[in-house]
Structure 1
């Protein structure tokens, strides 16, 4: 890509990272305040993210946000609603896995509490809409440094160009380099686990049922895709995960069948299999003068509850609403007092979810007999209390009055 010099074309908001968080933030900003100049800088080549073969669970609140942004109608034909969810707790060698907890797959007004959507479809739709809305896309570039100035921040790009912005948003992932450059420290730890992500086809239909099997090494989730296909999020100890993903196809299939079971008939792995290290990372601050963290750069949590992507959408919705409201009042969106509203809005929720997922992982990712009795009794009690189960479903719906407007299905 040729060198880019945008020093004479300042923007209001520059977003580092062109994944679903950066794209949804950029699109929400342009939908809410079309006069805002918004740019995305992403090191991946154009179209690379849209070729991601993985899939993600989109909770009801995130679905309403995508609908409010005008995208859900186009995404819906490629999505698979989750109509039911079951939870088991057993050992890998157990011949039977008793079901301790079941959830009907609906939130408010009968809408599914989640849909499975291919990542390529999601990012492709966001990208097309952002470009159409007027977001400037700089692919093959990354932010290498930035310096706060009076009234703006000077941003240096990897191609040698520079750009001035009122606000720099880091949506560059859990290992955010920009977070480090901003001097924002984190708290967290590794779990010594890796998440294996793969897709399988199977002989029998899943009927929209999602399954989470708590095994001693960690949760093994089977998430339904369109057709007789499912997405796997498979937690193992890191050394075991590395052995599994580098095994030959025959060995990989045997390991998979031990955990997947035979209730959906013969299974066949599809596409690549990858493993990602798992840990907890929480930023001590979400903002600094003319700088904000969004998505995994602010918080990376265990996938045991499937909430990582949805937390990122919540961040994007809250930050977009904060910036748009400031812009409508003629205020500078990069000032610390404006950004601290976003931090107050989102930090407690993310810390709370981080602690919940950390506790769940420690409770279930073991083979301790005493803990097994306690957790199985607890799951059984929850299963017998419909109102408590409704509260769990309601948390995914996120329809309360304190939620950002986009998550309630309202436009900015």
Structure 2
């Protein structure tokens, strides 16, 4: 390998999805260089086909995007979440969160993934400190006390102080490091799409807990909402095979008439639901972020937000060390990152797992208890404020970028 084929950088990020690119831009905001290696070509990463995939961004995630320059490119496509309503199927009591009870800002925003990706890549195109290699594939990697050296399938090599795994739940870097995961599958599959409805949503995110799993409608621009519909895995193939009229009728049967007539207006996607958490988020000169570190049920809509808090925390500890002239891949910075992030991630994983198990249980005493619980939380001010702040994902030891502060 000749020197001209070897790329020198501070951080090598494997995985160029929303989390990986956000990490690169967060580092670049304070002058750290990175190389992002992504298997898909650039045109696939920025494709504008309406595929129905949507993310719920907490207010803190929007603040991070603002700090790295991406929010201005997606703001026109973001619908604020002003209220959240949670109900148990057929129960007279429900939980109602109003953003005005905790401040003058929304709980978060609903944005189509295509607009998030496009916004990130608009900033990426102007970022001198980020080198995107796409399509690209890491053929081999050596990590030791001296640094990281990766060879790509095209013959080029990359040297860095640190490697970051951002390749998703089946992370090859995590597996190569021998990091095991605690994981289990739920007997549930999520159907994801977007719908149009006659009646405006009023900025309301609604989640109805049905025996098969949660059924959520999240507000989007116009009279549109994102649908995240959880069903027993065995029932999903038949639902996906329905024609449009029959599929819409199934949606209406669950949603009721609050939104008027509802019609699906995007492709239908489905994926099995499970929980996964890596036994550790770090190894020698390696950090895991996003779904490579943890994955959860979408019941609380916090998957991307949790990953963006990883991004913010890792960027902060690395930049702090860089300013002190320390080795970016040294163990102390990585230990600080892991200690910071594992408690938050475990808390969110346990909370979502508990919600799934509680609301998927139709035993009469348990169902009565949870209905009464929803009603009590709605009446008890401090308890309600606690859950409202968790709904906005603005609790705990938040990194600077999530607080809207520059690094």
Q: How far apart, in 1, do the equivalents of 2:4 and 2:253 lie?
A: 55
State the match for 2:39 in structure 1. Answer: 43
2:186 and 2:273 in contact (8 A); partners too: yes
The answer to whether the Cα contact below 8 Å between 1:145 and 1:181 also exists between their aligned partners in 2 is no
Name structure 2 gaps, 5 residues minimum.
none
8 Å CA contact 2:87, 2:208 repeated in 1: yes
Going from structure 1 to structure 2, the CA distance change for 1:47 and 1:389 (only over 3 Å counts) comes to farther
Q: Which residue of 2 aligns with 1:30?
A: 28
User: What is the alpha-carbon distance in structure 2 between the residues aligned to residue 286 and residue 89 of structure 1?
Assistant: 36
Q: Is the 8 A contact 1:83 1:105 kept in 2?
A: yes
3-state SS in 2 of match to 1:234 = strand
Cα distance, 1:272–1:44 mapped onto 2, change above 3 Å: same
**What value does the CA root-mean-square deviation take over the aligned residues?**
1.9
User: In the superposition, relative to structure 1, how do residues 353 and 254 fare at CA in structure 2: closer, same or farther (>3 Å)?
Assistant: same
2:113 to 94, 119, 129: 119
Shift of 1:28: 0.7
Q: Deviations over 1:134-190 (max 9, x none)?
A: 211111223233111442112132334322221110011112121101111110100
1:184 aligns with 2:179: yes
Matched, 1:131 2:125: yes
Match of 2:341 among 340, 346, 349: 346
Separation in 1, partners of 2:301, 2:46: 21
Distance 1:7 1:283, change over 3 A: farther
Match in the other structure for 2:63:
64
Identify which range, 176-185 or 152-161, moves more after superposition: 152-161
* Matched-pair contact (CA < 8 Å) for 1:53–1:120: no
Q: SS state of the match for residue 397, structure 2?
A: coil
The Cα offsets for residues 8-58 of structure 1, whole Å up to 9 and x where unpaired, read as: 2221111111122111111010002x2x22111111121323335411111
- TM-score (structure 1 length as normaliser): 0.93
Summarize the Cα distance change of 1:57–1:399 in structure 2 as closer, same or farther, 3 Å threshold. Answer: closer
SS in 2 for 1:212: strand
Provide the secondary structure at the position in 2 that maps to 1:101.
strand
Bigger mean CA deviation after superposition, 73-82 or 220-229: 73-82
Please give the per-residue CA displacement for 1:58-104, whole angstroms capped at 9, x wherever unaligned.
111111212222332332221111111111111xxxxx553411000
Give how far 1:401 is off.
7.6
For residues 130 and 107 of structure 1, what CA distance do their matches in structure 2 show?
37
Q: Are the structure 2 counterparts of residues 122 and 86 from structure 1 closer, same or farther at C-alpha, using a change threshold of 3 Å?
A: same
Shift of 1:290: 0.8
Contact 1:25 1:317 in 2 (8 A): yes
**Inter-partner Cα distance in structure 2 for 1:335 and 1:62:** 28
Give the distance between the partners of 1:349 and 1:399, measured in 2 at CA.
Answer: 11
Matching of residues 145-184 of structure 1 within 5 Å: 145-184=140-179
- State the Cα distance separating 1:291 from its structure 2 match: 0.5
Q: Distance in 1 between matches of 2:306 and 2:139?
A: 26
- Unmatched runs of 5 consecutive residues or more in structure 1: 91-95
CA deviations over 1:94-133 (Å, ceiling 9, x no partner): xx55341100034754100111111111111112112312
Q: Which deviations, in whole Å up to 9, do the C-alpha atoms of 1:310-359 show, x marking residues without a partner?
A: 10010000000011111111111112222111000001110111111111
* Candidates 97, 100, 104, aligned match of 2:94: 100
Indicate which of 354, 357, 365 corresponds to 1:362.
Answer: 357
Structure-2-length-normalised TM-score: 0.94
Counterpart of 1:88 in structure 2 is: 87
Once the 2 structures are TM-superposed, how far is the Cα of residue 386 of structure 1 from its aligned partner? 2.0
Distance 2:403 2:214 in 1: 30
